Amino acid sequence: MAADVRVPLIHFSNFADALCTLYAVGLLGVEEANPLLSWCFQYSETGFLVFKFVFVTFAVSYLDAVITRSQRWLMSAILSVLMITLCWHAYGIVFLTATPSPG
pLDDT digits (tens, 9 = 90+) for 55-77: 999 999 999 999 999 999 999 99
User: Which tops the pLDDT comparison, 96 or 65?
Assistant: 65
Quickly count: other Cβ atoms within 10 Å of residue 39's Cβ: 13
Quickly count: other Cβ atoms within 10 Å of residue 78's Cβ: 20
Distance of CA 53 to the CA centre of its chain: 9
Over residues 84-92, the mean pLDDT reads: 94
Which pLDDT score is estimated for 19? 94
Which pLDDT score is estimated for 93? 87
Q: What is the mean pLDDT of the chain?
A: 90
Distance CA 36, CA 43 (A): 12
Which pLDDT score is estimated for 15? 96
Q: Is the pLDDT of residue 29 over 90?
A: no
User: Which tops the pLDDT comparison, 44 or 10?
Assistant: 10
Among 7-11, 39-43, 59-63, whose mean pLDDT is lowest? Answer: 39-43
User: Which tops the pLDDT comparison, 60 or 2?
Assistant: 60
Which pLDDT score is estimated for 101? 65
